[in-house]
Amino acid sequence: MSLSRADKQLAALLRGCALLSAAIVLLILLFLVKESWPVLRHVALTRFVTDTSWHPVDGLYKLTPMLSATLYSTLGALLLATPLGIASALFSRYYAPPFLAGCYRRLIELLAGIPSVVYGFWGLTTLAPLIGRLHPPGVSLLTGILVLTLMILPTVALTADAALAAVPVAYLRGAAALGLSRWGLISGVALPAARSGITAGIMLAAGRAIGETMAVLMVAGNVVQQPHSLFDSVRTLTANIALEMAYATGDHRAALFVSGLALMSTVLVLVGTAEVLSRERHHD
Amino acid sequence: MTKNALATGLIWLSAILVSGVFVWLLSDILIHGLPRLSWMFFAEAPKNAGRSGGIGPIIVSTVLILLVAMVTAAPIGLATAVLLSEFARYDSVFGRLVRRSLDVLAGVPSIVFGLFGNAFFCIYLGLGFSILSGGLTLACMVLPILIRTAEEGLQATPNDYRLAAAALGMSRSAALVHLLLPSAAPALVAGLMLGIGRAIAETAALIFTSGYVDRMPDSLFDSGRALSVHIYDLSMNVAGGDASAYSSALVLILLLLIINSIAMGLAKHWMHRSVVTV
Amino acid sequence: MKKLGIVVTLIIFTGAVWGFLRTKSDDTNIEKLVLTGSSTVAPLAAEIGKRFESLHTNVRVDVQTGGSSRGVSDARTGLADIGMVSRALKDDEKGLHSFTIALDGISIILNKANPVQSLNKQQIIDIYTGKTLNWKAVGGNDAPITVVNKAEGRSTLELFLHYFGLKNTDVKPQVVIGDNQQGIKTVVGNPDAIGYVSVGTAEYEASQGAAIKLLPLDGIAASIENVRNRSFPLSRPLNLVTRAEPVGLAKAFIEFAGSPQVNDLIEAQYFVPVPR
Amino acid sequence: MNEIERIDKTHTDEAYTLGPLQAGPPCCDPTPLIRVDSLSLHYGKKPALENVSLDIYKGCITALIGPSGCGKTSFLTVLNRMTDMIPDCRVSGNVYFDSKDLRHPALDVQGLRRDIGMIFQKPVPFPLSIRRNIELPLREHGISKQSELNDIMQQVLLDVGLWAEVKDRLESSALALSGGQQQRLCIARALALQPKVLLMDEPCSALDPISSGVVEDLIQRLRGKYTVVIVTHNLAQARRIANYAGFFWIKEQRSGCLIEFGQCKQIFEAPAHELTAAYINGSRG
């Protein structure tokens, strides 16, 4: 890569910024390890899986039910939000008349900014009673998944929309010239061309779903148990930290940071698998 | 034909479903929030733990926190995105390492950000509970979004521009400033708006960093309560705080509308001036 | 495009500089008092702080939340001048000096539509330990009971368990909540729910028409009045804690917070002033 | 027929000259401007070119012909170091431009690309106005006086015969121009930098006959002042405008090689190599 002097300086500056942004993750991981060290020192890692339940005050640190709750809620939210998000992006890009598309996009941008507290608040006061009629207690894994879907849908929709906007018009004209139907054009040309942008959007949305704290805390019921049905009340790792951090001391507080570490390692595993999956279709 | 019709039906259905639920949510906020909304609500300081009085100082704190977050995150984010898409070869180890760490950063829960921000910015850097540490924590949180969307935008620009510019002996930075960034402007602005949306929606992170004080901040080193923290406190800790929680949520949405339209205006202005597209 | 970019960055830059300059000029003569701790006490402490500021011109009281344990640890490390704790101090925290500024009762609440009028101690214990699963067993209609419990470490939880002689591992909740408002909204949203929150908040919400009702405890009605006259058995002190004997500004603030001048503020937050 | 004549007429009556060129030196002075010997090029492990050696003479038009995929375009990208832009592309052998080693790492590549302009097969106008398309590279290379910029712009647009068509809409978007106009704009943009050499990669293949005719006339007029290296499939075009011609072919292991190089007349009338003869009269390839 032959670069002129100005470009070399620019490249060096950019490399610095990139290192900075990568360093933040390291700092956070270091912080988590430092804070969870007190309990990690004398509690074997296996105990976080084998203990009978999660009662840190009495020294029981079972994390697995919360880990599976986090995974189920994130997976459920992604399964709902991805199709709906991409559908709304397609709607505002190819189906809606321009004025309606503009309003729809403004609405989605607005909802990307609503605080998770408002989603949780609305979930607790309107969604939970409705689901409660279906199957008490109303606050459950299902409510959590629905609220999470609402929260990450704007992220998927907006990134998919931006990715579709970047599909060169020539591609679409070429396909249209072949007499493809609108759906044929979309599924055959537009979506494959925008695939990398859409997957980036889904990754961002997954990140947000895993990291969500307040809304899940208010609607998921927060009982530490292995979820067997959609209507079980569950507690995710993030809700666990938010619920107990305010009043946790000593080992209890360190155990909460261990659940933070557990969460970060699940994110690492997810990112790793996404990386392996994306490696085959190598970017040309 | 039926597959096409089915797809059209499904897409219209999902759009109606999505907008229906969101309109239901917004009208819920509007109905409960509108009655208390008045000019005084925007100007006054909160009284009686927020049950009455206005949210003037809180709006100022929120805007300052957003400003600090965006002023730090936007340049670093754009620089990283430019490096990842223009200067680092796609399969370079450094490039992939940075991308993966950003994906992980995007998954960090907001409560962990809050605690990290508290430990790092407030205590370690000695900024204490302040708008500055709140803004910097949000900057860390918003970086992945800004970088990913900017990088996607830059990579979507046709490679021909880079080759044509190089063939004319133009330096990469010149090609970047005059050609690539303007033509990636829509994605950059979309990323910025997503970032602002994420920052203004943040609650847990700010409780531990920008703090709880609802007095008008004198400087960036003063603690300032953000709108989302105010909404959280009113709905969770203050009995009878629901009414003004709804109004504050309404104000937050108005603030977001204003910021989004400014960003859109900037994008159109910037797009029109330098990039004349067919 | 270039001109616009320069103008915008100029504005932001001057804004930041203005921010920094302001700190240097007036930081010298303002005395700062920092309180951190329980989110239940924070609204009350903030109001007292505002009144304290109006009485002392060059004083600024910053109240931060983060929970009782943060209040204790910040007071101990000196990060905060005064810690706020919504419970009596634990035995390993006896080293700190604590000053009670208000009381807060804890009452069992049911949904208004629930026909059950009162529950004795044993019935509550059976409900919370999962022995009684249906309201019919205690005179309610035939519906599964939704037990709402507080999260681990919360002061209301510890007092509740202590009063009913239970350990948290025995309790089999269907829903676990954090703050009082979440508890109230959960019970309002679910006719078969039973939970416990602070008396003041519950009484205020019931008076505002929320679909909840307060159950008497051992025959004593759950009301702010009964907490004030100490007849209500289940209540907790709201304390300010300091590392050493408070001195100077902290001493003045604690005395002010303990004085009758703030009783109206305490009642405004639906807590109970400590009889002086 | 009158339709074609009418279009030709519109071009000729507009008195466009090639500017300061006048007659220009005799096209083939003996010293070669670019000398290439035993050049080979690999993309990763795949060989694209195998020891190609040829000379390009100052002021002449050299045409490179051969089937697609035989490395003609890769050869062009070596001459203006565009190979640097292609990841994991390895070049060996030596190339001299103006008797300077073109592949020397310390060479100022941007200066080189200013001396050796390149026109791509698909016209690539920048998404800017017509004026800025031409001004941007000039400003980059240090020319900032607006009057000077206007002169150069008018000059090169006249050279490519585009001035009449665009002089009253210079601020409009270059993307709104037709294919032929866009290609001529790209050539004007390259000429504005006064390059010594102009590399053209099948410039007319994406154009209609009329526009490609106009471009061909333009190339003819460049002879003498600019050294042109043109890759083309159009043998008739090569025969008409080239002084020298090089014939490339694909060897079994999928890598391109130079079969024969020499005066255009000799290559087309009396090719030494039977493969060239077969390709020329179209019986193979």
Subunit contact A203:B148, Cβ cutoff 8 A: yes
Give the three-state DSSP class for D253. Answer: coil
Subunit contact D84:A4, Cβ cutoff 8 A: no
Subunit contact B169:D111, Cβ cutoff 8 A: yes
Pairing assessment for the beta strands D244-250 and C272-273 based on DSSP bridges: unpaired
Distance CA A212, CA A221 (A): 15
Res. D24 pLDDT band, cuts 50 70 90: very low
Res. B132 pLDDT band, cuts 50 70 90: very high
Distance CA A197, CA B150 (A): 11
Show residues of chain C in contact with A222, CB under 8 Å.
151, 175-178
Give the distance from CA D200 to its chain's centroid.
2
Task: Supply the pLDDT for residue B135.
Answer: 93
Return the CA Rg of chain D: 19
Residue D121 has pLDDT above 60, yes or no: yes
Quick one: closest CA in D to A3, which residue? D109
Among D128, D172, D193, the residue with its CB nearest the CB of B169 is D193
Whole-number percent of chain A with pLDDT over 70: 96
How high does pLDDT run on average in chain B?
86
Whole-number percent of chain A with pLDDT over 90: 15
Task: Supply the pLDDT for residue B136.
Answer: 93
Res. C5 pLDDT band, cuts 50 70 90: low
Let me know if residue A65 belongs to a domain. yes
Q: Which of A13, A35, A93, A114 should be substituted to probe chain B, the one whose Cβ sees the most B Cβ atoms within 10 Å?
A: A114
Distance CA A234, CA A211 (A): 16
Task: Supply the pLDDT for residue D251.
Answer: 78
Res. D27 pLDDT band, cuts 50 70 90: low
Determine contact, residues D183/D207, Cβ cutoff 8 Å.
yes
Res. A157 pLDDT band, cuts 50 70 90: very high
Determine contact, residues C195/C179, Cβ cutoff 8 Å.
no
- Restricting to A residues 42-81, those with a Cβ less than 8 Å away from any Cβ of B are none
Subunit contact D109:A2, Cβ cutoff 8 A: yes
Quick one: closest CA in A to D104, which residue? A2
Determine contact, residues C115/C250, Cβ cutoff 8 Å.
no
CA-based nearest residue to B196, from A109, A174, D132:
A109
Domain B33-276 class in CATH: mainly alpha
Handedness of CA A102, A108, A114, A120 (dihedral sign): positive
Handedness of CA A12, A18, A21, A23 (dihedral sign): negative
Task: Supply the pLDDT for residue A146.
Answer: 93
Range of the domain at A176: 54-283
Residue pLDDT, tens place only, D64-101: 888 887 888 888 888 888 888 887 888 888 888 888 88
Task: Supply the pLDDT for residue A69.
Answer: 92
Q: Lowest-pLDDT range, A132-141, C158-167, D11-20?
A: D11-20
Residue D203 CA: distances (Å) to CA of A81, B167, D235, D248: 48, 15, 14, 18
Q: Do chains B and D touch (3 or more CB pairs under 8 A)?
A: yes
Residue B2 has pLDDT above 80, yes or no: no
Show residues of chain B in contact with C62, CB under 8 Å.
129, 211, 213, 223
SS (H, E, C) chain C: CHHHHHHHHHHHHHHHHHHHHHHHHHCCCCEEEEEEECCCCHHHHHHHHHHHHHHCCCEEEEEEECCHHHHHHHHHHCCCCEEEECCCCCHHHCCCEEEEEEEEEEEEEEECCCCCCCCCHHHHHHHHCCCCCEHHHHCCCCCECEEEEECCCCHHHHHHHHHHCCCCCCCCCCEEECCHHHHHHHHHHCCCEEEEEEHHHHHHHHHCCCCEEECCECCECCCHHHHHCCCCCCEEEEEEEECCCCCHHHHHHHHHHHCHHHHHHHHHCCCEECCC
Residue C25 has pLDDT above 70, yes or no: no
Residue B275 has pLDDT above 60, yes or no: no
Summarize the confidence of residues B228-241 as an average pLDDT: 86
Distance CA A36, CA A33 (A): 5
Determine contact, residues C270/C224, Cβ cutoff 8 Å.
yes
Give the three-state DSSP class for D92. Answer: strand
Q: Which of C86, C181, C238, C270 should be substituted to probe chain B, the one whose Cβ sees the most B Cβ atoms within 10 Å?
A: C181
Quick one: closest CA in A to C210, which residue? A125
B48 torsion bin: left (phi>0), alpha (psi -120 to 50), beta (else): left
Subunit contact A137:C146, Cβ cutoff 8 A: yes
- Give the gap in angstroms from C-alpha A53 to the nearest C-alpha of chain B: 23
- Give the gap in angstroms from C-alpha A136 to the nearest C-alpha of chain B: 22
Residue A258 has pLDDT above 60, yes or no: yes
Task: Supply the pLDDT for residue D25.
Answer: 41
Show residues of chain B in contact with A119, CB under 8 Å.
25
Q: Lowest-pLDDT range, A26-35, A236-245, B211-220, D249-258?
A: D249-258
Task: Supply the pLDDT for residue A4.
Answer: 67
- Give the gap in angstroms from C-alpha C176 to the nearest C-alpha of chain A: 5
Q: Is D84 on the interface with A (CB under 8 A)?
A: yes
Task: Supply the pLDDT for residue C13.
Answer: 62
Summarize the confidence of residues D113-125 as an average pLDDT: 88
Show residues of chain D in contact with A1, CB under 8 Å.
84
Task: Supply the pLDDT for residue A276.
Answer: 77
SS (H, E, C) A17-46: HHHHHHHHHHHHHHHHHHHHHHHHHHCCCC
Other residues' Cβ atoms within 10 Å of the Cβ of residue C38 = 28
Distance CA D50, CA D237 (A): 26
How many Cβ contacts (< 8 angstroms) between chains A and C? 102
Subunit contact B256:A115, Cβ cutoff 8 A: no
CA-based nearest residue to A138, from A123, A151, A122:
A123
Task: Supply the pLDDT for residue D285.
Answer: 40
Residue pLDDT, tens place only, D269-282: 888 888 888 877 76
Burial of B49 (0-12, 13-18, 19+ CB in 10 A): buried
How high does pLDDT run on average in chain C?
83
Report the topology of domain D29-128+197-280.
Answer: Rossmann fold (3.40.50)
Determine contact, residues A257/A32, Cβ cutoff 8 Å.
yes
Task: Supply the pLDDT for residue A75.
Answer: 93
Higher-pLDDT residue of B75 and A283 is B75
Residue pLDDT, tens place only, C221-275: 888 888 888 888 888 888 999 988 888 888 889 888 888 888 888 888 888 888 7
Quick one: closest CA in B to D129, which residue? B276
What would the two tokens of residue B194 be?
């997503």
Subunit contact A181:B147, Cβ cutoff 8 A: no
Long-range contacts of D176-181 (CB under 8 A, 24+ apart): D176/B278, D177/D125, D177/D130, D178/D211, D179/D123, D179/D206, D179/D207, D179/D208, D179/D211, D180/D207, D180/D208, D180/D210, D180/D211, D180/D212, D180/D214, D180/D215, D181/D211
Those chains having 3 or more beta-carbon pairs within 8 angstroms of chain D are A, B
ipTM confidence score: 0.78
- Give the gap in angstroms from C-alpha A87 to the nearest C-alpha of chain B: 5
Distant-in-sequence, close-in-space partners of A15: CB < 8 Å, separation ≥ 6? B83, B87, B94
Residue pLDDT, tens place only, D189-205: 998 888 888 999 888 88
Query: What's the structural domain count of chain A?
Result: 1
Residue B195 has pLDDT above 70, yes or no: yes
Subunit contact A4:D109, Cβ cutoff 8 A: yes
Whole-number percent of chain C with pLDDT over 70: 89
Q: Do chains D and A touch (3 or more CB pairs under 8 A)?
A: yes
Q: What are the boundaries of each domain within chain B?
A: 33-276
- Restricting to D residues 187-246, those with a Cβ less than 8 Å away from any Cβ of A are none
How high does pLDDT run on average in chain A?
84
Quick one: closest CA in A to B117, which residue? A28
Task: Supply the pLDDT for residue D13.
Answer: 35
- The one-letter code for the residue type at C24 is K
Res. A227 pLDDT band, cuts 50 70 90: confident
Summarize the confidence of residues B150-170 as an average pLDDT: 88
Q: If you search the block for the tokens 């629905």, which residue do you land on?
A: A146
Task: Supply the pLDDT for residue A1.
Answer: 46
Show residues of chain D in contact with A2, CB under 8 Å.
81, 84, 105, 109
- Restricting to B residues 213-232, those with a Cβ less than 8 Å away from any Cβ of A are 227-228, 231-232
Res. D15 pLDDT band, cuts 50 70 90: very low
Res. D10 pLDDT band, cuts 50 70 90: very low
Distant-in-sequence, close-in-space partners of C14: CB < 8 Å, separation ≥ 6? none
Distance CA D80, CA A54 (A): 68
Q: What is the CATH number for A209?
A: 1.10.3720.10
Torsion of CA A152, A158, A160, A162, to 10 degrees: -160
Residue B6 CA: distances (Å) to CA of A40, A91, A181, B9: 55, 14, 12, 5
- For D200, the enclosing helix (H) or strand (E) is strand D197-201
Among A31, A118, A263, the residue with its CB nearest the CB of B109 is A263
Summarize the confidence of residues A173-202 as an average pLDDT: 82
Res. D1 pLDDT band, cuts 50 70 90: very low
Residue A27 CA: distances (Å) to CA of A32, A72, A271, B207, D244: 9, 28, 18, 20, 64
D70 torsion bin: left (phi>0), alpha (psi -120 to 50), beta (else): alpha
Determine contact, residues B243/B229, Cβ cutoff 8 Å.
no
Residue D129 CA: distances (Å) to CA of B113, D166, D178: 46, 11, 14
* Phi, psi dihedral angles at A90 (to 5 degrees): -65, -40
Subunit contact D110:A1, Cβ cutoff 8 A: no
- For D119, the enclosing helix (H) or strand (E) is strand D116-119
- Give the gap in angstroms from C-alpha C68 to the nearest C-alpha of chain A: 6
Q: Is A96 on the interface with B (CB under 8 A)?
A: yes
Residue B18 CA: distances (Å) to CA of A122, A160, B190, D101: 16, 15, 20, 64
Residue A92 has pLDDT above 60, yes or no: yes
Determine contact, residues D80/D111, Cβ cutoff 8 Å.
no
Show residues of chain B in contact with D80, CB under 8 Å.
167
H helix count then E strand count, chain D: 11, 10
Task: Supply the pLDDT for residue A81.
Answer: 94
Residue pLDDT, tens place only, D142-152: 888 899 999 99
Summarize the confidence of residues B31-35 as an average pLDDT: 88
Residue B54 CA: distances (Å) to CA of B47, B49, B58, B251, D134: 7, 11, 9, 11, 57
Task: Supply the pLDDT for residue C1.
Answer: 44
Those chains having 3 or more beta-carbon pairs within 8 angstroms of chain A are B, C, D
Show residues of chain A in contact with D104, CB under 8 Å.
none
Give the distance from CA B257 to its chain's centroid.
12
Res. A153 pLDDT band, cuts 50 70 90: very high
- Give the gap in angstroms from C-alpha C210 to the nearest C-alpha of chain B: 10
CA-based nearest residue to D222, from D78, D19, D29:
D19
Tell me the HSE value of C225 on the side-chain side, using a 13 A CA sphere.
3
Subunit contact D127:B161, Cβ cutoff 8 A: yes
Summarize the confidence of residues B34-47 as an average pLDDT: 86
CA-based nearest residue to A223, from C175, C152, C167, C133:
C175
Residue pLDDT, tens place only, B81-117: 888 888 776 667 888 888 888 888 888 888 889 889 9
Residue pLDDT, tens place only, C81-90: 999 988 888 8
* CA-angle at D156, arms to D155 and D157, nearest 5°: 95
Task: Supply the pLDDT for residue C179.
Answer: 83
